[in-house]
Chains A and B, each alone.
Chain A
Amino acid sequence: MLVLAASGGKYVAAAYAVFLALILVYVAIMATKLARIERELDDLSREDR
């Protein structure tokens, strides 16, 4: 049943890397959105001055 039991470590590493990558990509997208909000806020406060 276990086809690749001997080299199982690389599969475990791949699964956890996928999990980590997903979180990192999500956080990066959120960081971009927050940076855009900050830029817009700067524009608004400059307009207000």
Chain B
Amino acid sequence: MYGRGLRALSIATAVVLTGAAVMVFFYAPKEADQGIIQKIFYVHVPLAIVALCGFVAGGLLAIKQLRTGETKWDMRSYVAIHLSLVFAVGALITGSIWAKASWGHWWVWDEPVLVSFLIVFLLYCCYQPLRFSIEDPEKQARYASVFAIAAGAFVPINFMAVRLATAHIHPRVLSKTTDGSLPTEMLITFLVSLLGVALLFATLWKVELTAKNASMKLKRLRRRLEAAEHAAPSGPPSPEPVGAP
């Protein structure tokens, strides 16, 4: 079910990511102020944007779960949030490396963009412990969905609050003002990188959903098989013992 179209998506992801890497190092010009260090921008910013969008998508999928009560929406929401956390770790580490290279510090505590992203990340770090502390699957899905919706709504609010903050040293390269806007070559390279990272997210999301779906189907089959064995004890004995790891 989830594996449909996965091959085409994987190929598209590989092609776009390779193209983005080539553009970053051979097409995009070196930035006058930061030089080669600015190339980190093409991996750091897409990771952060896709992670934040993934958190919001997790909230939207959770709304669907609460409305329909279907497990598949909860699973989709869970995988989106789980993957966004991985991408957020990447954004934090690459951002830290960029900060060290250009500001001389691994982290700057009085910069709203960095701290707000860390707050969002830490908020979502609570999602998994909350989820797995509830044993009843129905309750787990419901509580996790409520958390995902509340936290998902917090992401854009937090983003807007940070944009309104005045003090910042973090570059605003995607703003519409002329002093902060990107040259065309850099903008095209950035958009290709963003597309590549978004496709990577979609591919990994599909891969994980396929694996989870297969695992659930397998469990269901095993349960059905065990029930059939209990129902017919006089049937032929199985030739080998159950060797579940």
Residue B244 CB within 8 A of the other chain: yes
CA distance A6 to B240 in the complex (A): 66
Given contacts A30-B211, A43-B244, A44-B222, contact A18 B37 (CB under 8 A): no
8 A-B pairs closest in CB distance: A3-B104, A11-B101, A8-B37, A15-B94, A15-B40, A8-B36, A15-B97, A18-B93
Q: Name the A residues within 8 Å of B218 (CB-CB).
A: 37, 40-41, 44
Question: Measured between alpha carbons, how far is A41 from B93 in the docked complex, in Å?
Answer: 38
- Choose from A2, A4, A30, A49 the contact partner of B208 (Cβ within 8 Å): A30
User: Is A23's CB within 8 Å of the partner chain B?
Assistant: yes
Q: Is the CB of B215 within 8 A of A19?
A: no
Given contact pairs A8-B36, A19-B47, A44-B222, A2 touches B102 in the complex (Cβ within 8 A): yes
| A-chain residues with CB within 8 Å of residue B245 when the two chains form the complex | 36, 39-40
State whether A12 touches B40 (Cβ < 8 A).
yes
Interfacial residues of chain A within 1-44, with CB under 8 A of chain B in the complex: 1-5, 8-9, 11-12, 14-16, 18-19, 22-23, 26, 30, 33-34, 36-37, 39-41, 43-44
Q: Say whether B44 contacts A15, CB under 8 Å.
A: yes
A16 to B43, CA, bound (A): 7
Nearest-neighbor residue (CB-CB) of B239 within chain A: A49
Q: What is the interface of chain B mostly: helix, strand, loop, or mixed?
A: helix
Residues of A within 8 A of B238 (CB): 47
Which of B47, B86, B101 lies at the interface centre, i.e. has the most chain A CB atoms within 10 A of its CB?
A: B101
Complex: how many Å from CA A30 to CA B3? Answer: 14
How far, in Å, is A48 (CB) from chain B's closest CB? 7
A residues contacting the other copy or chain, number (CB 8 A): 31
A-B contact pairs, 7 of them (CB 8 A): A5-B35, A5-B37, A8-B101, A12-B101, A15-B93, A37-B211, A44-B221
In the complex with contacts A44-B222, A46-B240, A47-B238, A19-B100 CB distance below 8 A:
no
Q: Which residues of B are found within 8 Å of A1, using beta-carbon distances?
A: 33, 102-103
Give the A-B contact count at a CB cut-off of 8 A: 95
CB-CB < 8 A to A19: which residues of B?
A: 43, 47, 90, 94
**Chain A residues near B131 (CB-CB < 8 A):** none
Whether B240 contacts A47 by the Cβ 8 Å rule is yes
**Binary A-proximity of B213-233 (CB < 8 A = 1, otherwise 0):** 011001001100100000000
Contacts of B60 in A (CB 8 A): none
- Cα A44 to Cα B98 in complex, Å, equals 50
B142 at the interface (CB under 8 A from A): no
Q: Does B235 contact A (CB under 8 A)?
A: no
B100 touching A15 by the CB < 8 A rule? no
Residue of A nearest to B101 (CB): A11
CA distance A46 to B33 in the complex (A): 65
